[in-house]
Structure 1
Amino acid sequence: MIVPEAFVRATVDREGEAGEAWLERLPGIIEDLLSRWDCAVDGDAMHGQVGVVVPVLAPAPAVLKVSFPHPGNVHEPDAFAAWDGRGAVRLYERDDDRFALLLERVHPTTLNEGTNIAEDAGRLHRRLAVPAPVGLPRLQDRADEWEAELRKDAAELTHPLPDSVLDAAVAVIHELGRGQPDILIHGDFHPRNILRADREPWLAVDPKGYVGDPAYDGATFLKPRALALMESDDLMKALQRELEVFAEAAELDPERVRLWAQLQAVQAALHGRRYGYGRARSGPLLKRLNALADQLAMSWC
């Protein structure tokens, strides 16, 4: 099994020696799981940010996904099990100790290549909003951490956000963050995590598996849409339209989506100044992304 070189470099850059050690074990892990789950390799390995995906026949077309061990990946199989194919890929097998899944195979085409992105995402998200199973992490338990981090970053970092915008973000934490419904949410719901499928037009992949407010996922969906719409004549008008279409299709309160979007934009503006972004750690692109986050934080307020 040849692990993609780009995935090797990214894993070592991000995880250091722990990543190198895991990568040395990865081919053996894959070979063992192929044998255990009676799979035959059916194409070249692909990868995301933290996991390798191997097309297999088992005997139907499927994929073997093995992720670098990380707390953010722990509840991915729990979410798939709860959905049982409802709006998401089906889970066939799981090995939690090795962060490995055998999943329904879908196509590499993402919703970014669709024609009705906000509406299709909203319809799909409505189907994912089911009662949460016991044992999943609750977003509301992170509210105190969110507020403490926001106040610390706002005080320590150089940024243009006025106090009114920061206060509005803290108000969202108090209003929505500390009392959330017992609903299963994706946790990383954006167009690249929605893939073309045969069984249904689109299916979700790569969930975090949280318990919380479905409108939080709506705000997460809007962040990459802002990047896609940056060249619009009126970015905020275009984003507001996306919000309204998504919220109607998902049967969500658009005001709750807007409030979560404002908080997430403030968090992104501050986090980007401290750590950068996945696609930009320095240079002109980082400045551009920070400026976009600033604009969203102040415009959603």
Structure 2
Amino acid sequence: MIEIPERFAQSIIGREGEHGRVWVASLPPLVDELLERWNCGIVEQVGHGGVGIIVSVQSADGASAVLKISFPHPGNVHEPDAFAAWGGRGAVLLRERDDTHFAMLLERAGNGTLADLDDVDEAVAVAGTLVRRLSVQAPTGLPRLRDQIEGWQEDLRKDAERLPHPLPQRVVQAAVTAFRDLGHDQPETLVHGDLHFGNVLQAEREPWLAIDPKGYVGDPAYDAITLLRSRFEDLLAAEDLKAALLRRLAIFADAAEIDRERVRRWAQARAVMDAHWGREHGDPAWLIRFTDAIAELLI
């Protein structure tokens, strides 16, 4: 049986309590069961992310693959649905799935990510091009971003009143207005939902492939904010932060073939959400200041 990395086990148990302890204990026999069912053998020891384990395997046909098992959580439910809809177009291929156990057998890509590119502009352009490829007609049953709009607007107003050191009212109102203007008129397009640099891997079948989607339906511009929070040290070093933010968003928008103004407004609104989340959950002060700056400068 596999050994679960101690650091990962303690992280899950610390966050999820007894439920997490039971789940971690279930993983070794579950891996054995899935490997037998899907006729795979382990190639490397277990790796992990924040919410699941990753086992490099080889299938019976000799193909390299990855067995991924995630902690059961609503945010992980639609990941295999997104992979299935893409069918390998701009994302790793889904080979097998077990939704009961939040398990998937996925195509194995390379180890490099967009974060490894020296040229940040190139990385942003790659992400934009990938967003264009991933913007396919969404299947039924996936969560629609437009259904969240009313709740987001209400949360923004309430959080602005209750959280410490609030953003200026005009910044919050710009976000509320953006959601009002953009949120209800969205396409039936599949959206990755978390397309930061680390979730785009180098590959051979295609140069770059996406992993770890949320599987939302709506406006592809929704993902723009993640590219401002990737490699942010380059932005922090810029002489003119606003110009640097707008430049990055423009590169993304042009590559994705999305209206620049729509991208800017989505990024501003989501930056306000992120700033509130950071206050609520104890983000470092420097990160809160940076997110506040994005929210204010993009008005």
> Structure 1 runs of 4+ off > 4 angstroms?
none
Distance 2:15 2:242 in 1: 34
Aligned-residue identity in percent? 53
Q: How far, CA to CA, are the matches of 1:112 and 1:220 in structure 2? A: 12
Q: Name the SS for the 1:131 alignment partner.
A: coil
Runs of 5+ unmatched residues, structure 1: 278-285
Q: Aligned equivalents of 2:79 and 2:184: distance in 1?
A: 23
Indicate if the aligned counterparts of 2:68 and 2:104 stay in contact, CA closer than 8 A: yes
Shift in Å at residue 227 of structure 1?
A: 4.6
Q: 1:31 to 1:228 in 2, by over 3 A?
A: farther
CA distance in 2, matches of 1:153, 1:136: 27
Paired with 1:9 and 1:264, the residues of 2 have a C-alpha distance of 31
Alignment equivalent of 2:199, drawn from 180, 186, 193 = 193
Candidates 259, 284, 287, aligned match of 2:285 = 287
Q: What RMSD in Å do the two structures reach over aligned CA positions?
A: 1.2
Cα deviation, 1:90-136, whole Å, max 9, x if unaligned, reads 00000000000000001221101123111111111110000101111
Instruction: Tell whether the 8 Å contact from 2:55 to 2:67 is kept in structure 1 after alignment.
Output: yes
Deviation string 1:221-266 (CA, Å, 9 cap, x unpaired) is 2232435422222222222111111111110111111101111111
Q: How many residues align?
A: 293
1:75 and 2:81 matched? no
Q: Which amino acid aligns with 1:4?
A: P
**In the TM superposition, what whole-angstrom CA distance separates every residue of 1:115-160 from its partner, at most 9, and x where no partner exists?**
3111111111110000101111101111122112111111101224
Distance 2:7 2:123 in 1: 29
**Structure 1 residues 204-213 or 221-230, which shifts more?**
221-230
Match of 2:40 in 1: 39
**Match of 2:27, as an amino acid?**
L
Distance 1:9 1:256 in 2: 42
1:69 partner letter: P
Provide the rounded CA distance (Å) in 1 between the counterparts of 2:128 and 2:5: 33
Stretches of structure 2 that go unaligned for 5 or more consecutive residues are: none
Determine which of 99, 102, 122 is the counterpart of 1:99.
Answer: 102
Q: 2:136: which partner in 1?
A: 130
Q: How does 1:148-297 map to 2 (within 5 A)?
A: 148-277=154-283, 286-297=284-295
For 1:299 and 1:79, locate their aligned partners in 2 and report how far apart those are by CA, in whole Å.
Answer: 33
Counterpart code for 1:297: A
- Helix, strand or coil for the counterpart of 1:229? helix
State the Cα distance separating 1:205 from its structure 2 match: 0.1
Structure-2 separation of matches of 1:274 and 1:14: 16
Partner of 1:28: 29
Distance 2:240 2:11 in 1: 36
Compared CA separation, residues 18 and 228, structure 1 to 2 (3 A): farther
**TM-score by structure 2 length?**
0.95
Provide the TM-score with structure 1 as the length reference: 0.94
Shift of 1:45: 1.1
Q: Distance in 2 between matches of 1:49 and 1:196?
A: 21
Question: 1:215·1:260 contact (CA, 8 Å) conserved in 2?
Answer: yes
Question: In the aligned structure 2, how far is the partner of 1:142 from the partner of 1:226?
Answer: 27
1:139 paired with 2:167, answer: no
Match of 2:91 in 1: 88
8 Å CA contact 1:226–1:235 kept in 2: the answer is: no
* Preserved contact between residue 160 and residue 294 of structure 1 (Cα < 8 Å): no
SS in 1 for 2:57: strand
Q: Counterparts of 2:39 and 2:21 in 1: how far apart (Å)? A: 28
